[in-house]
Every structure is written in C-alpha cells, then in structure tokens.
Chains A and B, each alone.
Chain A
Amino acid sequence: MTKIKSLADLKKKKDDLQSKIALREKSDKPEGRVQVKVAMATCGIASGSKDVMEYMVDEMDKRNIDAIVTQTGCMGYCYAEPTIEVRLPGQEPVVYGYVDLKKADEIIEKYIRNGELVDGIIPVNYQTIEKNK
C-alpha cells in the first residue's frame, strides 16, 4: 500500500472506503450498541489512557464489534487509572480500573463478547441488599 501524504491521497482512499462505511452507518442507534468510555483527564493520560483508547478503537473495528468508544473526564479514581466504563446494551455500566492493553483485550473477549465479568471492577454503581428491600 502506498503511503498517504497529502489530502489528494486521502481523497483517493476515501473513494475505496465509501461502500464499506455506508454499511456501518446503518446501525446508528446508540442504545443498541456497546458503549465504552475511556477516562482521559490528566491522571488518565499520565497512566497511559491514550494507548488504551487507541487500542479499543482499533480492536473493536478489527474484531467487528459494533461499539462506540468515547472519551470522558476523571471519575475520581485517579489511583486506578487508566479506567474505562463499559455499557452493554440494556445493562448497567461497569467501570474497570488498572486497564492496560492486556486487560483491555480480556475485557473485550470476555465481558463485551460473552457478558462474563472479569477482575478489576470498581464498584461505582452497586446496590446494597438493604436498599433493595
């Protein structure tokens, strides 16, 4: 593949892609998609959230998972950065801490694909038995 260096090169690439993207755009309902939020404040960035974010975007695309990956601010769990919040369609969001690329891979394969919880959850939105009565 030739390298892209100018806007003209970008234009050419875009034409090749047009049909592929039209397909993707059909599933544009956010509720029906997996939503991933990567915390990207000073604490997150300093701990490597940029790499986690890029990894999530690329891997969701490569593994054909219909997901929206976005950035968010600091949730106050600076000690556990990088943190990510994953919301599967129709479920409560789950926050994971200390997410490196290996953990990110595990979260994609186990939690996002199969709904199987993995280690490293930060209990943000838990409910106690008393409250539930």
Chain B
Amino acid sequence: MKDLSLHILDIVQNSITAGAKDIRITIEEDTKVNTYLIRVEDDGCGMSEEMQEKVLDPYFTSRTTRKVGLGIPLFKQNAERTGGHLSLWSTPGKGTTIEAVFVHDNIDRPVLGDIAGVMGLLIGGNPEIRFRYAHQKDGKSYVADTREITEALDGMPVNDPEILRFIKEMIRENLAELHAN
C-alpha cells in the first residue's frame, strides 16, 4: 500500500463484508507523544477467538478465490516497521475493532494520502452504511458523519458524482486546516 488511506480503505472493506451498518474511522495524531493511531470500529458479525488469531496470518483468508489474505498482515507489518503495533478486538455478533499505532516521525511511516477520496468511495459505494470519520491532531479535531451529511442533503442521493465531489472537497478543506498528514 502506498499510503495509510489505502490501508484504511482495505480494512474497511472487511467491515463491509462483515455486514457492518455503522463504521467509525478514527485517526489520532499526537506529535508530542509521537504517535499516529488509526482505529476502525464496526458493528459487523465479529470474529471468534480462533479467527482473530488466524487473520494475522498472511496465509489465511475467508475468500475462496485465492489462498492468501494480506490486508491485515500488511497493515501490521507497516505499523511494526515504524516501531508501532497492531491490535484487534472482536466479539461475535457485536463487531470488531482494529487499531494500528505508528511512530509519528518515523521515516517508514507512510503518509496519510488521499483520505478524502477514500471516504468518497466508501460513502458513494455504500450509501446505506453510516460512516464516521474523526481526525484529531494535537487537540484539534474534525468529524465527518454521513448521518449529518445525509440530513443536510435532505433526500438528495449521497452517491451522486457531483455531491461526492463536494463531500470530498469538504473533508479535504477541513483536514488541510488541521495540518493532517
């Protein structure tokens, strides 16, 4: 993966496959403690303890089209390469939380990349799912919530290309103000 936003896109696809209807994506940047945390929480079908161990193994996948499953292992590897770590909590029937901590100023930490574009794709492709994206940096924060966006749109389809362009622009502008990277 070229950047962190692509990891997020990849991990969130797992949540969607797990039938989640409410997905929270949180990024917490702390330049004082020097951490860069990414958390994805969903209310999907969850995983048994046995499966929670297996998903960290690159040779495990729930797919039948191929024999490897690299999404979580690659995310973990990238976090560990900076001196960080990846953790996973899951309850069958309740949902899954996955959290990766990167060392903020490590040269191996990928940049955030086009997270606005990623959110645009996720929202446009899954209008029935509620996405909440929160980005915090050194005490300042920005939250994009598709429920609020849907209310503001007042019945207009959230997956219209023009509307999506506006949503992406809104996220991009707010993140620029936070100096998120």
Is there contact, CB below 8 Å, between B66 and A21? no
Q: Is A18 an interface residue (CB 8 A)?
A: yes
Is there contact, CB below 8 Å, between B156 and A73? no
In the complex, what distance in Å separates the CA atom of A14 from the CA atom of B124?
16
Is there contact, CB below 8 Å, between A10 and B166? yes
Within 8 A of A (CB), among B116-173: 117-118, 120-121, 124-125, 148-149, 152-154, 156-157, 160-167, 169-170, 173
- Of B19-27, B47-55, B68-76, B102-110, the stretch lying at the interface with chain A is B68-76
- Interface of chain A: mostly helix, strand, loop or mixed: helix
Interface string of B2-17 (1 = CB under 8 A from A): 1000100110010001
Smallest Cβ-Cβ distance to B72: which chain A residue: A42
Is there contact, CB below 8 Å, between A73 and B63? yes
Q: Is B174 an interface residue (CB 8 A)?
A: yes
Within 8 A of B (CB), among A69-91: 70-71, 73-76, 78
Is there contact, CB below 8 Å, between A25 and B157? yes
- Which range holds the interface residue count of chain B? 35 or more
Is there contact, CB below 8 Å, between A50 and B9? yes
> Assuming A6-B170, A9-B170, is B153 touching A14 (CB within 8 A)?
yes
Question: Chain B interface (Cβ within 8 Å of chain A)?
Answer: 1-2, 6, 9-10, 13, 17, 63, 65-66, 69-71, 74, 114, 117-118, 120-121, 124-125, 148-149, 152-154, 156-157, 160-167, 169-170, 173-174
Q: Would you list the 10 A-B pairs with minimal beta carbon distance, nearest first? A: A76-B65, A61-B161, A42-B71, A7-B152, A5-B173, A4-B170, A71-B125, A4-B169, A11-B152, A42-B70
16 contacts between A and B (CB under 8 A): A5-B170, A10-B152, A14-B152, A21-B157, A41-B13, A42-B71, A45-B6, A46-B2, A50-B6, A50-B114, A58-B165, A70-B125, A71-B121, A73-B65, A74-B63, A74-B65
